[in-house]
Amino acid sequence: MARRTTPKVSEARELFLLKVRGQTQSRIAVNQYSSVVRRFELRVNNCQVGSLTPEHVEDFFFGSGRSLNSTCGPTTLGAYKTRLKSFLRFCHRRGWLTMSPDVMLEEIRAKTRANRNRYRMTRAELRTLLDVATDPRDRALAAFVANTGVRISEAIGLTVRDVSFPKGELYVTLYKTREEVTLPMSSDLERELRVWLTAYTAEVGELQPGYRLFPPHFPSRFQKGKFTTQQPLRLNPEGRISNPRVIIQALAKSAGIELEPGDGWHTLRRSFGRILYEDARAHGHDDALRLTQAALNHARAETTERYLGLDLERQRYEAMVKGKPFLTADLDPGKIVTLDERRAGRG
């Protein structure tokens, strides 16, 4: 029986991207998937999908030459693994790839778990981060992410109309799915936003619904190699912050918080998730993980567990065993005789 010919990686890539475009309206997300699979295609010389092996995948990530490991940090490696796994799953479901994506990625899984032990701030550290902010916009932006756990791209895309003080609600468009979700507004965040919007109004006048909630500054103007003014930069209500990473790095430095390479706004998102999870457990919620998963808008609980840096099975094991009887758990305490009592009975 003749072996069925499978498409080349480039052909499978085009079909895969059609599927991705149908699932999301985000051009950024489509381009990210396209970039990863395109690099993989070049690395494997655009071979047939059916001939791909785990060795191809390992070489793509950690092989000699310009592999991903030589050009990307651990966080990017983790993101690339997730996107490549989606492509391999697409091929596997169509019968082009005999091995499952899990088998294909087994050798590199441990090497690319970038979020497992990433830094997470305490409540006190988050408050310090806000207190050191000299720009009210930066403080409000940090407070927003720390109180909601949204991605920074979602936060800087918000407009004034996305905040409803009467209802205590926030309306956020998710980066990955383009779905608008409603988030609750904590009292802490309400206070921070009211202070910020008051300062915002004082600078630009009456706020229009379409103004950015967290606008950028107009660029500095130069004249003959010097600044034209020493006044603070003016806000651009209709613009969009282009490099938010600079903001969080400056805040962390002022707060004395040392961020590792790759840490940034996502550190606040992870911190929010971990604090919410611990609070849910402390308040007796039966499924704190599911509650946190919903708050972070994750499709899978495994993603939430990785964000939180949790090993839930180990936690459950410790809670079940630590400080409690194990070999004697099935005995009636009234029937247990101490060694001294037994010796006294022999006399």
Nearest to 50 by CA among 104, 105, 7, 93: 7
Q: How far is 181 from 291, CA to CA, in rounded Å?
A: 15
* Span 315-331, average pLDDT: 75
What value does the mean pLDDT of the chain take? 85
Residue 61 has pLDDT above 70, yes or no: yes
More confident residue, 147 or 62: 147
Residue 334 has pLDDT above 70, yes or no: no
Residue 272 has pLDDT above 50, yes or no: yes
Residue 336 has pLDDT above 70, yes or no: no
* Span 250-267, average pLDDT: 87
Residue 58 has pLDDT above 90, yes or no: no
Q: How far is 334 from 188, CA to CA, in rounded Å?
A: 53
Q: How far is 344 from 279, CA to CA, in rounded Å?
A: 51
Instruction: Give me the pLDDT at residue 290, please.
Output: 92
HEC secondary structure over 84-119: HHHHHHHHHHCCCCCCCHHHHCCCCCHHHCCCCCCC
Stretch among 90-94, 236-240, 304-308, 327-331 having the lowest mean pLDDT: 327-331
DSSP 8-state assignment for residue 65 = S
Burial class (CB in 10 A: 0-12, 13-18, 19+), 153: middle
Q: Which helix (H) or strand (E) holds 223?
A: strand 222-223
Both tokens assigned to 232: 């603070």
Q: How far is CA 178 from CA 21, 78, 104, 240, 290, in A?
A: 12, 23, 30, 18, 22
What pTM does this model have?
Answer: 0.64
* Span 5-14, average pLDDT: 92
Residue 170 has pLDDT above 60, yes or no: yes
- CB atoms under 10 Å from CB of 293, counted, come to 22
CB 87 within 8 A of CB 96: no
∠ CA 79-32-38, rounded to 5°: 100
Of the pLDDT bands very low, low, confident and very high (cuts 50, 70, 90), residue 37 is: very high
Burial class (CB in 10 A: 0-12, 13-18, 19+), 48: middle
Instruction: Give me the pLDDT at residue 1, please.
Output: 36
Of the pLDDT bands very low, low, confident and very high (cuts 50, 70, 90), residue 230 is: very low
The string of pLDDT tens digits covering residues 74-126 is: 667 778 888 999 999 999 999 999 888 888 887 776 565 544 457 789 999 99
Of the pLDDT bands very low, low, confident and very high (cuts 50, 70, 90), residue 339 is: low
Query: How many alpha carbons lie under 13 Å from residue 311 in its C-beta half-sphere?
Result: 5
